[in-house]
Amino acid sequence: MTPFIRNMLVIARRDFLAIVATPTFLLFLLAPLFMIGMGAVGGVGASQLADSARGKGRIVAIAGPADVEALRAADSRLRDALGRERPPVLEVRLAGADAADPLAIAREKGSDTYAVLSGPLENPRIVEREAGSGAGRYLALLASDVLRDRAAGPVAPAKPAFEAITNGGTSIAAQQSMGFGAVFVIFLMTLLLAGQTVSSLAEEKGNKVIEILAAAVPLESVFLGKLLGMLGVAILFIAFWGLVAIGGGMAFAMQADPATIAAAGKPAAALMVAPASGWPFFIGVGVCYFVMAFLLLGAVFLGVGAQASTVREIQMLSLPITIFQVGMFSLSTAAASAPGTGLAQFAQIFPFSSPFAMAARAATDDAKAVHLLALGWQALWVALIIYLSVRLFRAGVLSGGGGWKFWKRARPATAASTVSESTSAH
């Protein structure tokens, strides 16, 4: 083993243990649980608010005594046929001399009235909250259904034999959703883990540890060691949650009753979806794309962060990088929702969005050779970014973070030069 590689591995082990062998790493490891918990709480609150608002909505039909029961019966039949896409609750009022005006009913407080039907069913008047709304069309459908029953008499409901048309695979919409999920997970984990490199660099620049490392080993080894150490932390993070997911899935599969799973319907069917390239390839290539994205972002964070002299400057310099990465996330999500378009091809070629966009492509496209080409293309850019970032890191550390000395190699002052300068001064 060459001294350069040995020094790099020593720095990598030092940074890895400095993060992992601390009590706070447990909180960092369990951070997704807190995010999922807060998201679940917010989702429950939003769902309850939506249900509450939906429960207060209504549609009103003002009808004569002969039409009240007919409208209610037609409403019951149509709601059963519509399934989940049900209109607001129907309120039937008896028409009379003291019947309220439809406009006054629509403006009543305490509930949202989306449409009001009044007048004869042959030529009803429908007051809508919004022109061309579904509530107004539903009231018109109710009137037509009642008239149809009266004209031809009641008709027994049909008993059709349903047959599902499937092609043996997952729907395109589900695969695009999986592609979006892959983009989101890689982006979130990359930003969460690569940001730790800036935190460790800020701490070491504040307590002058980076200067001690620079005097002991080459700065190239320090840079690559730090990047490799953070990559090890990222892989440990992924391995932990991957084992948790596999263990949870196996426990569910062993404990769940097949009849219960079959009765679950769509939730159980959602667990059976698969990406176009297959689960093993999709997971494997997703990990490779995460490594590429992490190396790209981590190298940029280290190179740019070394130019700052204080923790505050490091945080200010990392902000534009984070904003740029959010832009790459937006570009990749747009490409995931429109596979095969020019936008998707641009996102797959552009080096900083390529890992995200190609991970999304693995969910919707069964071609596998293109991913080897993409990984090679991204590896070239990783090597180039690391080369440029190493020079930035070296210049920033040796110059104390006072300027962007990129091409000029700054050399630390030696004892002989210090003595000669003091002698000339005297």
| 51 is a domain residue | no
Q: Are residues 110 and 247 in the same domain?
A: no
Gap between the Cα atoms of 189 and 108, Å rounded:
50
Contacts of 213 (CB under 8 A, 6+ apart): 11, 204, 222
For the domain that residue 82 is a member of, what is the CATH number? Answer: 3.40.190
Q: Is residue 23 part of a domain?
A: no
Could you tell me if residue 164 is inside a domain? no
Q: Which residues pair with 58 in a beta bridge?
A: 89, 113
202 and 266 fall within a common domain: yes
Please check whether residue 422 lies inside any domain of the structure: no
Q: State whether 147 and 177 are in the same domain.
A: no
Q: Please tell me the distance from the alpha carbon of residue 290 to that of residue 295, in angstroms, as a whole number.
A: 9
* pLDDT tens figures, 65-114: 888 898 998 898 888 777 667 788 898 988 875 556 788 887 777 677 88
The angle at the Cα of 377, spanning 375 to 382, to the nearest 5 degrees, equals 85
Q: Write the secondary structure of the chain as one string of H (helix), E (strand) and C (coil).
A: CCHHHHHHHHHHHHHHHHHHCCCHHHHHHCHHHHHHHHHHHHHHHHHHHHHHHHHCEEEEEEECHHHHHHHHHHHHHHHHHHCCCCCCEEEEEECCCCCCCHHHHHCCCCCEEEEEEECCCCCCEEEECCCCCHHHHHHHHHHHHHHHHHHHCCCCCCCCCCCCCCCCCCCHHHHHHHHHHHHHHHHHHHHHHHHHHHHHHHHHHHCCHHHHHHHHCCHHHHHHHHHHHHHHHHHHHHHHHHHHHHHHHHHHHHHCCHHHHHHHCHHHHHCCCCCCCCHHHHHHHHHHHHHHHHHHHHHHHHHHHCCCCCHHHHHHHHHHHHHHHHHHHHHHHHHHHCCCCHHHHHHHHCCCCHHHHHHHHHHHCCCCHHHHHHHHHHHHHHHHHHHHHHHHHHHHHHCCCCCCCCCCCCCCCCHHHHHHHHHHHC
Mean pLDDT of the 43-58 span: 65
Per-residue model confidence as pLDDT tens digits over 386-425: 999 988 888 877 775 444 444 444 444 444 344 344 444 4
Residue 270 has pLDDT above 90, yes or no: no
Q: Tell me the CB-side half-sphere exposure of residue 369, using CA atoms within 13 A.
A: 0
| Residue-range definition of the domain harbouring residue 89 | 57-152
Task: Give strand pairing partners of 62.
Answer: 93
Same domain (yes/no): 116, 86: yes
Provide the pLDDT for residue 43.
Answer: 72
Same-domain pairing of 98 and 208: no
Q: Would you say residue 286 lies in a domain?
A: yes
* Shared-domain flag, residues 67 and 128: yes
Q: Please say if the pLDDT value at position 126 is more than 50.
A: yes
Would the pLDDT of 227 be above 50? yes
At residue 219, the pLDDT reads: 85
306 in the same domain as 382: yes
Determine which of 131-140, 252-261, 305-314, 360-369 has the lowest per-residue pLDDT on average.
252-261
Q: State the average pLDDT for the chain.
A: 80
In a shared domain, residues 231 and 376 = yes
Nearest residue to 145 (alpha-carbon basis) of 115, 124, 116: 124
Last residue of a domain, one of 105, 125, 152: 152
Total number of domains in the chain? 2
Q: What confidence score (pLDDT) does residue 173 get?
A: 76
Indicate whether 77 and 216 sit together in one domain.
no
- Which residues, including other chains, have CB under 8 Å from residue 74's CB and lie 6 or more apart? 142, 145, 146, 149
Co-location of 378 and 245 in the same domain: yes
